[in-house]
Structure 1
Amino acid sequence: MDGGPGPQDLAGRVASYAVRWPDRDAVIQVRGEHESRITYGELALRARRLASWLAARGAAGRRVVVAVEDGPTAAVAMLGCLLAGAVAVPVPPPSVSRAAALRTAAIVKDAEGLLALTERAYAAELTQSLSLAGLGAMECRAVDAWLPLPATDADEGRDADAGGALDAARGPARPRAGDPALLQYTSGSTSQPRGVMVTHGNLAVTMAAVQEAIGTDADSRIGGCLPLHHDLGLIGQLLHPLWLGATAVLMPPALLVRDPVRWLEEISRHGITAAAAPDSMYARCAAQVTDDRLAGLDLSRWRTAVDAAEPVSGATLLAFAERFATAGFDPAALAVGYGLAEATLLVAVSAPGEAVRGAGRAPVSCGPVRGAEVRVVDPETFEPLPDGSVGEIWLRGPAVTAGYWNRPVQTAETYGRRTAAGEGGFLRTGDLGMLADGELAVTGRLKDVMLVEGAAVHPHDLERVLLDNGRSFVSAAVFAVSEPSAPDRVVVVQEVRPTVRTTPDHLTDTVRRSLADEFGVTPHEVLLVRPGTVRRTTSGKIRRSAVRTMYLRGELRPLYVSGRAGG
C-alpha cells in the first residue's frame, strides 16, 4: 500500500487490521441476552462489497444516509461509505419513534441524500417514511442483505492483502485531509438539527487526540450505549475502536432511559476498559443501584470512565466513586470530557485520576484543550477574558469542522468569528466556561442561564440537586419564564414514579425546600409528571427548550401542579 494507510485513512487502517488480525472481534453488539459479532476480516470484506456497490451508483462525494441500529451492520455501512468516498449521514432508524421517523425524513431532505442504507428490519418503514416526505424515488438498500457471505468470498477476503481490498473498491486514491467524511447532524438540544461537515482531517486529529488523552490502544475494549447518530456514539464508541484495531462493545441506547445499571452490568460482563456517558448517567447509576446488583459487578478492568456530553458535577464523580468502590472501580479511572459536533466530538478531557479534584458545585476541570486553541470571551463584547472569568468558549484549530451543510448564514454566525482583540477564525460554541492554569471548566449553556433575583443560575445545577431527593424522583427540567419588566419565574417539571406512596404536596414541598436550601431559589410553579415526559437528546441531555415550549403551549399533562390537581 505504498507505506500503508495514512492517519486520515480510516478505511485503510481497518483493511490492514483485517490482514494482521482477521479473527479479532471488531464489533460486539449486545441485544439483551444475545450478541452479534463481526471480525476485522469479515468487516473488511463486507465493507468492500458495499463500497463497490456504492461506487457503481456514483456515490463518491455524495451524501449517503445511514439508518441502522448499533452493531456490525452499522460498522459495515460506515466503513463502506468511507471506502467508496461517499459522505455518510447517520440518522436514527425510523421505527425508534414517530419523532425519529420525522427527524430522519427531514434530515434526508436537508442532506439531499443520493440513497439510503438500512437494515431489513427497517427497510419497509424507511421506504414509507421517505415516500411520505416526497422522497419516494430514493433507493434504499438493506446492508444486512449481503450477509451471510458465501464461504468462497470469505476465503478470498482472508487471503487478500489490505491494498488489494481497498483498490478493488475505490482505486489507488486515498482520502485527503479536506475531503468530507461525515455529515453529522446535531442532536437538536439547542436548535433545529443542522448538518455539521466533518472532514477526514477532522477525524484524524480527533482520533489521535482521544488516544493520547485516555490511553486507548489495539487491546482496548471500548463500550457505550449512545446511539450512532450521536457524535459521541459514532466517533467515540465505533470509529475510534476501528481506528485503533480495538473492539467496540455497543449496547442498546434505551439503557440510558430504562435501566442505567444495565450499562454497568455490560461493562462488567465484557471487561470493558474505556467507556463514556453523560453526567446524568453516572448520577443515576449511583442513586439507583441496589446492594444486590452492586454485589454482582466487577468494574476492576474499567481503566477510563469519561463523564461527558453535559456539564459535570464534582458531587456526581465523588458519589459514583464511593458507591462502586466495592465493585472494584478505581476512582483514578474517572475523567471529565467536553466536546461538540462542530469540533468533531472532543475539545478537552482530563487525564484519568485527576477528575475527582472537583467537589460540590465548583466547576470541574475538563483538562487541557486538545486539537484546538481556546479563548474565553465576553459573549456581548467578544473581549477575551482573563483566567478564572466565566465567558463563552471559542475554539479554532484542525479539529474544528468546515461549517453547516447548506446553511451559509448559520455558518457565518457560528464559524470564523473574530475576537475584539483581532484574532480570527474562531467557532462560537454557545457554551460557558473558564480557563485556569491551562485547563478548561464548563459551567453551562449561554442560552440556559437564568437570572434569579439578579444572580445567574444554571438549571443543570438545580436539576442535579433534585435527582438527589430519593427514589421517588426521576428526571427534572428546570427553566425560566420571562415577562416584561418582571424577574424570571422558575418552573420545575419533575418526573415522579407512579408507585410512590406519598402525597403530591409532600413531593412538591421537597422540590421547593431542596432548591431553597441549596440555591435560595423559590420555584414559581412545580409540575409533577410521569416518567418519560422530560424530553432528552440522543446523548441524554435534557431538552429544556422543548419542555419549556410544551409548558407554554399547555401540552404537558401534569399529575399535579404546585398545590392543585393536574389533568
Structure 2
Amino acid sequence: MPRHANLAEALRQRARDGGDHTVALAHPDGTGGERRISYAELDARAGAVAAWLRGRDAAGRRVLVVLDPGPHVAAALLGCLYAGAVAVPVPAPTASRTAAERTAAIAKDAVVDLVLTETAHATETSRRLSLVGRADLTCLPVDRLRPDHGTGHVPPARTDPDSLALLAYDSGPATAPRGARLTHGNLLAAMHALRATLGTGPRSRIGGWLPRRHTPGLIGQVLHPLWLGATAVPLPARPYRTDPAAWLRAISRHGITEAVAPDTHYARCAALTADEQPAGLDLSRWRTALNAGEPVSPATMAAFTRRYAAAGLRTGTLVAGYAPAEGAPLLLAEGRAPVPGAEFGVVDPLTCRRLPEGTAGEIWARGAAVATGHWGRPPDTVPLFAARADDGPGGFLRTGDLGLAADGGIRMTGRVHDGLLVDGVTLHPQDVERELLGCGRALGSARVFCAGPGAGPLVVVQEVRTAGAARTGLPRLAARIRARVAEEFGVNTGAVLLVRPGTVRRDGAVKVRRAVLREWYLRGELRALHADYAPGPTEPCRGGAA
C-alpha cells in the first residue's frame, strides 16, 4: 500500500481503486440482511458532504458528527477528512440525560462550528444544542444529500501529518469531557499498527459494537476497514452489548473475521447454557477475537475457546490484548507482532521509574499513533502526553491503566485513577452517582466502584431512607437502579447493595471513599438491607445482613 501525506488521500485512493467493489460497507438492517454500498458510492456521498463543508469554509474547523452506526457516519467522517475539517464524533441522541449533557458539554468545549447528523436526529440534536446556547449552529442531515451534490473527484484538502483530523472525547466526566487531539499522522500510523497487530487485509470483515466515539470503535471498526479496502460491519451497541447470544449470531451471520470485546462479554458468552446458545452457529471464519478493554481472565479465555470449539472456533482465535483507554488508537495483542513504531512500558506512577517484568505499575505508551494532547488544555499536555521515565526520552502517554509486563506483552490489571472500565466502557463514578440521586425519593447517596481494581463488574452501594421504603419494596428498588444504569450508561450492574443511611455519607456531609467501601465489600463487611447480585463473579465473601 503506497504512503500518503494524510488519511484523506489514502481513503480517496482506496475509493478509486475499489470503484464498484461492493463490499466497502455492510450495514446490518436488523432483519438478518445487509445493506451493501460500493466504494464509488461511498466516495460520492463523502464528496457531497465535503462540498457542503467547503461551502462553509470548514477547513480546520470543528464539526460535530451525531450519527448512528452505518453508511451515513462513514460518509460524514470521510467528508470531514476530504474537506480538511476536524470531526468531533458523539453518539446519536437517546433517552439518556447523561449522554445529552455530555454531548452539550463536548459541543461547548470543542467550540464546534457545524453539525452533521441525519433526519431522524436533527430536531432533537438542535434542541439539545440550543439549551446550551448553541442554537446558531448549522445542522446538516447527511441522508438528505444526494451523491451528485458533490464535486466529483476533487482532491482532498491540503493537510499534512501534523494537521488535526479528529477530537476523540473518550475521557472526563459528563460535565467536563476531555477531547484527545488526533492528527492525520496519528490516524495513518494507527492504520498500519492495526494491520500489523490483527493481521487484517482486504478480505477482512471487521465488526463490533464498540462505541463509535471511542478510538477503538471509531478507528478500528470504521476507518480501518475502509483504509484496507475491506468490509465494515457496524453493529448497534446496546442490544449486542447486553445480549451475547445476539452478538455471536451476528458474527456467524455476517462472517465477521476480526472483532474486539471486553473480557466480561466473552465471560457472558462462555456462561450461556445449551438452551441459550444460538442454533446453527458457525464461527469458523472468525480469525481474531481480541479480548481487550478490561483485565483479561485466563479462565475466561479457556472457557470461551472450549465452549465454542464445536461451532468452529479455532484454537488461537481468542487473543488477549491491551487497548489504551486515553486517546491512543493502538491494540497490543499477546503473541502477535509488536506494534510497529510503538513502545509500551510499565512505570511506577509516583517515582516515574520503569518497573521490571511481573511488577504492577502504570502503563505508558509512546509512538506515532498516540494522541498529541487534550483539546484546549495545554497545562495537562506535558504531564499526561509527554511524560518521561527514568530521565530517558520523553513523549510517553500516561494511560492511567494499571498493568504489568509479561511474556513480551502488557497485561492490564485495573485503573490508577477514578475512571471505571465496565463492559469495555469507561465510566466516571461521579456521573453514575449523580444520576442515581434522581432514581427515587427513597434513595439517598450512592457510591459506585468495580469489583476489580478500577475494572470489572460494577458495584452500586446505595443508601435507602428506610422510612420511605418497606423491606418488601427493596427488590423493586434494586431492579430500578439496574434499569437506570443500563438506560443511562449502557452497561450491566454486577451487584446492588441497598444500605442504611450513614453507610455512604457520614455526619451528613463527608462521603466514605470509594476505595474504603470497595475494601469493605470485598471482605464481606458491608451490612446490606438488601443485596442483589447478577450471575457471575460479583458476590464477595458473605457479610452480615442489617
Task: Choose from 378, 398, 420 the match for 2:348.
Answer: 378
CA distance in 2, matches of 1:20, 1:413: 43
From 289, 306, 310, the counterpart of 1:322: 306
Deviation (angstroms), 1:530: 5.1
Contact kept? 1:369, 1:440, Cα under 8 Å: no
CA deviation string 1:357-387 (max 9, x = no partner): xxxxxxxxxx745542223221111121122
Correspondence 1:70 to 2:69: yes
Partner Cα distance (1:536, 1:225) in 2: 16
* Secondary structure of 1:184 counterpart: strand
Structure 2: how far apart are the matches of 1:197 and 1:236? 17
Q: Does 2:336 correspond to 1:344?
A: no
Tell me whether 254-263 or 11-20 shows the greater mean CA deviation: 11-20
The answer to whether the 8 Å contact 1:127/1:140 transfers is yes
What is the TM-score normalised by the length of structure 1?
0.74
Flag the 1:536–1:57 CA change in 2: closer, same or farther, 3 A.
Answer: same
Query: Match for residue 434 of structure 1?
Result: 404
How far is the alpha carbon of 1:144 from its aligned partner? Answer: 0.4
Q: CA deviation at 1:286?
A: 1.5
SS of the aligned residue for 1:331 comes to coil
Which secondary structure does the structure 1 equivalent of 2:411 belong to? strand
Q: Distance in 2 between matches of 1:449 and 1:60?
A: 34
Name 1:419's counterpart in structure 2.
Answer: 389
Which of these residues, 183, 207, 219, is aligned with residue 235 of structure 1? Answer: 219
Unaligned runs of 5+ in 1: 353-366, 451-457, 461-475, 482-490, 496-503, 509-526, 556-560
* 1:13 Cα offset (Å): 3.0
Q: Distance in 1 between matches of 2:194 and 2:92?
A: 28
**Given that residues 183 and 198 in structure 1 are in contact (C-alpha distance below 8 angstroms), is that contact kept between their aligned partners in structure 2?**
yes
Q: For residues 67 and 343 of structure 1, do their structure 2 counterparts lie closer, same or farther at Cα, with a shift above 3 Å needed?
A: closer
Of residues 233, 238, 244, the one that matches 1:260 is 244
Identify the residue that residue 487 of structure 1 maps to in structure 2. none
Which residue in 2 is equivalent to 1:30?
Answer: 28
SS in 2 for 1:106: helix
Would the aligned equivalents of 2:196 and 2:339 in 1 still touch at CA under 8 Å? no
Equivalent in the alignment of 2:521: none
Q: Give me the whole-angstrom Cα distance separating, in 2, the residues matched to 1:201 and 1:271.
A: 31
Unaligned runs of 5+ in 2: 424-447, 463-470, 512-525, 533-546
Q: TM-score, normalized by length of structure 2?
A: 0.77
Is the 2:485–2:492 Cα contact (8 Å) retained in structure 1? no
1: CA distance, partners of 2:387 / 2:357:
21
2:39 pairs with 1:43: no
Q: 1-side partners of 2:342 and 2:479: how far apart?
A: 43
In structure 1, distance between residues paired with 2:273 and 2:210: 20
Deviates more, 1:113-122 or 1:91-100: 91-100
1:204 aligns with 2:188: yes
Contact kept, 8 Å, 1:395 with 1:429, in 2: the verdict is: yes
How many correspondences in the alignment? 470
CA distance, structure 2, for counterparts of residue 138 and residue 419 of structure 1: 44
Q: 1:339 to 1:543 in 2, by over 3 A?
A: farther
Q: Which has the higher helix share?
A: 1
**Aligned equivalents of 2:209 and 2:358: distance in 1?**
35
285, 290, 296: which is aligned to 1:312? 296
> Residue 96 of structure 2 corresponds to which residue in structure 1?
97
* CA separation of 1:396 and 1:537: change in aligned 2, threshold 3 A: farther
Task: Rate the CA distance shift 1:256–1:387 in 2: closer, same or farther, 3 A.
Answer: same
| Secondary structure, counterpart of 1:165 in structure 2 | coil
AA paired with 2:277? R
Deviation of 1:233 (Å): 1.2
Query: Structure 1 residues 257 and 321, CA, compared in 2 at 3 Å: closer, same or farther?
Result: same
Q: Contact conserved, 1:449 with 1:459, CA < 8 A, in 2?
A: no
Evaluate the alpha carbon distance shift between residue 343 and residue 232 of structure 1 in structure 2; reply closer, same or farther with a 3 A threshold.
Answer: same
> Counterparts in 2 of 1:468-487, with a 5 A limit?
478=450
Residue 257 of structure 1: how far off its partner (Å): 4.0
> Contact 1:230/1:539 (CA < 8 Å) preserved in 2?
no
Contact persistence 1:95–1:125 (CA under 8 A) = no
Q: Contact between 1:19 and 1:41, CA under 8 Å: does it hold in 2? A: no
**RMSD of aligned C-alpha atoms?**
3.8
Q: 1:165 aligns with which of 113, 130, 153?
A: 153
Q: Residue 348 of structure 1 contacts residue 440 of structure 1 at CA under 8 Å; is this kept in 2? A: yes
Check conservation: 1:224, 1:250, Cα contact below 8 A: yes
* Maintained 8 Å contact 1:15/1:166: no
